[in-house]
Chains A and B, each alone.
Chain A
């Protein structure tokens, strides 16, 4: 019996130890990052006379892919001004949880971000009114400010575009060019022709529209934006408590096109991931890949594509003025300043932001290293091909499709639509599509109510 108890005790002790260790693990992360910041403080203590206010900046960064660049930029700023800037990056998909726990601490982030009006609902009590600040005045358009009533709660700091990324080389092999696709009908014709000849050509039209969690946002959120955009536009509104689903037939048509002209069968989509889709595109197994300007770095480089191979075209769904439709361009990244922070820290944060968007170092880092298009007057041109294309489309007089998915009522709504889309992809019956419509329309009303109850 003794042995059993001992083993039990051992088990419990291990469980405890594991618990403590994991606790340390996440903490370590923060201290590590904080360490990066304080490393530079040692150096700038000498220069500390320069900083009158003596505040410091703590930025909780949303984009893991740009962590290194932010750390470097923070270091440069500290070297120049002596203000301590700590950049901590939340693990992918964990921003809300990290932000929640960080904001509850003393020494909370002075600078954080929300993803639009719905994300703002959580954090509006923490947002410093940015109207009239120097960084706000640098915005190229007031449209890039996220407003809560009259106050400016957040300002967009990066503009992104998404559409159909095409492999031009493969498209040529199939006997078409990007210029042949000017509408949904064209796209359908090209895609179906490629599918008909796919065994002879050796590639398919679309990469797999994976509905795994790593990829489903491309369809339940980004693709769903199109019917929402056209409905809002027709009704002249910017958000709604009940969507009508006017253009869901078009949504079905484009989804059918994706599913039926893909590299795999519809019923396999449930398990396909974002990496699967990207790899198919990189391995030249498909011509079209729905994704955004943030994919650029993953597609171009050694053993990958060059700018000449690629193009991004608008996602046509057969609605509206297709001849003048541009890429889907917008933002879901808004900077917010923590109003509960120490006034000196708030000032330091505002100064830091202003420096980021106006100084030579700041703008070049954001354009060249991070590959961002920033909506500020001093912005540098980005080398990102898709971003340049968006500008060309706009210059040609095409209207970019705005990002309305920031008004989707909740994550839960997206999950409902995603789930129904997955089921429909596996078995394309009218009954299954009715479930998508129901998740889209009825789900919207229910979720809107649930998310906005007092």
Chain B
């Protein structure tokens, strides 16, 4: 049986493998190559060596957008995960209507980023008008907190579901044993539940981290980088590099930035996975 499986394995793997090569490996390789070129379309690239990377790394706006992205990521990862975990704990208690609450909290996740961005732009601008503060287009502080509120609103429900699944998997016997040993509710949460759901935490932190770094739609729709690029995150900065100025040169710069961005996100995510995984316990 196993032999037969091994024999025919390539047949089953092949379709996905081909799709993966065409859809991912080839464009990725091409993208890498293009980051060393100046080009208008992908076919007429002219090799220019490392100059794109030099330009990308010395571009002050890229650095600024990196700082803004990091500030955003730190705060949004913390708020999303803390609130999502709190809700998950609440909604795994034996109270009435938990299913309705779970559905309600999950729903914002079903709306696309651009739509959410515009809806929140209207909402936040309304509030800013009422309190007589400058509107989003002129107010980078409001833009920053607006993005955080928007992302929390969108992602908390999703993370909450993952935490709920994790919490439900904590065996009752463990909690009972802890209670018999004299642990109060708080201690049971900190010393038993959290270590037991560490794998959920790994997943959620990974998702929020990569989402925050890659954030584009919401950023484009809510603030568009206004005022003066001060709320521009890295993905939007790359997009602007591509399209804000005419000429083949800028495409190469954008491409180099995109490669740097990709390496950065991968390495941060790998580091995070390693750090949180080491805290996971075997059941």
- Which of A's residues lie within 8 Å of B, judged by CB? 1-5, 7-8, 11, 96-97, 100-101, 103-104, 118-119, 121-123, 125-126, 211-213, 267-268, 270-271, 409-412, 415-416, 419, 422-423, 426, 447, 450-454
Contacts and interface: CB of A to CB of B under 8 A. Distances in A.
Contact of A271 (B136, B158, B243, B246): B136
Interface string B230-244: 000000000010011
B98 interface: no
Contacts of B240: 412
B96 interface: no
A148 B172 CA distance: 77
B247 interface: yes
Interface stretch (B38-46, B73-81, B146-154): B38-46
Nearest to B121: A271
B168 interface: yes
B161 interface: yes
A426 B165 contact: no
Contact of A411 (B41, B200, B243): B243
Interface string B198-218: 011001000100000000000
B40 A103 contact: yes
Contact of B138 (A103, A119, A270): A270
B138 A121 contact: no
B162 interface: yes
Given A121-B246, A419-B226, A450-B245, 4 more contacts: A4-B166, A271-B135, A419-B137, A447-B245
Nearest to A118: B246
Interface in B134-189: 134-138, 158, 161-162, 165-166, 168-169
Contact of A125 (B40, B122, B227, B246): B40
Contacts of B162: 4, 7-8, 11
Contacts of B207: 11
Contacts of B283: 1
B276 interface: no
A99 to B, nearest CB: 9
27 contacts: A3-B166, A3-B169, A4-B165, A8-B162, A96-B243, A97-B243, A100-B40, A100-B41, A103-B40, A122-B246, A122-B247, A212-B137, A268-B135, A270-B135, A270-B138, A271-B135, A271-B136, A271-B137, A410-B244, A415-B244, A419-B226, A419-B227, A419-B228, A422-B138, A426-B138, A452-B247, A453-B249
What are the nearest 8 A-B pairs in CB distance?
A104-B41, A270-B137, A270-B135, A412-B244, A410-B245, A121-B246, A104-B42, A103-B41
Contacts of A126: 40
Contacts of B168: 3
Contacts of B199: 1, 4-5
A96 B240 CA distance: 13
Contact of B134 (A104, A122, A267, A447): A267
B43 A104 contact: yes
Contacts of A409: 245
B40 A122 contact: yes
Nearest to A101: B41
Contacts of B158: 11
Contact of A268 (B40, B129, B200): B129
A4 B227 contact: no
B169 A119 contact: no
A214 to B, nearest CB: 11
Contact of A7 (B138, B161, B248): B161
B55 to A, nearest CB: 10
B38 to A, nearest CB: 10
A450 B59 CA distance: 12
A423 B226 CA distance: 11
B273 to A, nearest CB: 12
B117 interface: no
Given A125-B44, A271-B125, A213 B243 contact: no
Nearest to A124: B40
A122 B283 CA distance: 59
Nearest to A439: B228
Given A122-B246, A268-B129, A270-B134, A4 B43 contact: no
Nearest to A6: B165
Contacts of B108: none
B42 A451 contact: no
Contacts of A447: 245
A212 B248 CA distance: 29
B169 A412 contact: no
Interface in B20-65: 40-44
A435 B35 CA distance: 35
Nearest to B227: A419
B260 to A, nearest CB: 20
Contact of B203 (A8, A212, A452, A453): A8
B65 to A, nearest CB: 14
A419 B230 CA distance: 12
B125 to A, nearest CB: 5
Tell me which of B134, B166, B245 has the highest count of chain A C-beta atoms within 10 A of its own C-beta. B245
Contacts of B138: 270, 422-423, 426
Contact of A410 (B41, B42, B44, B246): B246
B174 to A, nearest CB: 13
A4 B169 contact: yes
Given A4-B203, A268-B129, A422 B40 contact: no
Nearest to A3: B165
Contacts of A8: 162, 203
A126 B248 CA distance: 12
A242 to B, nearest CB: 17
B246 A119 contact: yes
Given A4-B166, A104-B43, A412 B135 contact: no
A233 B162 CA distance: 66
